Amino acid sequence: MKLPSSHKLKDIAAIINCEFEGNPEHIISGLNEIHMVDAGDIVFVDHPKYYDKALLSKATTILINKKVECPNGKALLISEDPFRDYNKLVAYFQPTNYSLQQIGDTAKVGKTSIIMPGVYLGNNVTIGENCVIHPNVVIYDNCHLGNNIIIHANTVIGADAFYYKKRADFFDKMISCGRVVIEDNVEIGAMCTIDKGVSGDTIIGAGTKLDNHVQIGHDTHVGKMCLMASHVAVAGVVVIEDGVTLWGQVGVRSDVKLGKGSVLLAQSGLGEDIPAGKTYFGSPAGEARSKMKEVAALKMLPNLIKKITEK
Q: Which domains does the chain have, with CATH numbers?
A: 2-93 (3.40.1390.10), 108-289 (2.160.10.10)
Neighbours of 242 (CB within 10 A): 17
129-139, pLDDT tens digit by residue? 999 999 999 99
**Are the C-beta atoms of residues 155 and 136 closer than 8 Å to each other?**
no
- For residues 99-120, give the mean pLDDT: 97
Q: Which helix (H) or strand (E) holds 245?
A: strand 245-246
User: DSSP letter string over 1-28?
Assistant: -EEEEEEEHHHHHHHHT-EEES-TT-EE
**Are the C-beta atoms of residues 36 and 201 closer than 8 Å to each other?**
no
Neighbours of 66 (CB within 10 A): 12
**Predicted local confidence at residue 36, as pLDDT:** 86
For residue 299, pLDDT beyond 90: no
Give me the catalytic one of 26, 218, 221, 231: 218
Task: Confirm whether 218 is a catalytic residue.
Answer: yes
Rounded Cα distance, 145 and 147, in Å: 7
Rounded Cα distance, 178 and 215, in Å: 17
Pairing of strands 164-166, 171-173: antiparallel
**What pTM value is reported for the model?**
0.92
The pLDDT confidence band at residue 309, using thresholds 50, 70 and 90, is: confident
Q: Which of 10-19, 48-57, 112-121, 299-308 has the lowest mean pLDDT?
A: 299-308
- For residues 135-151, give the mean pLDDT: 98
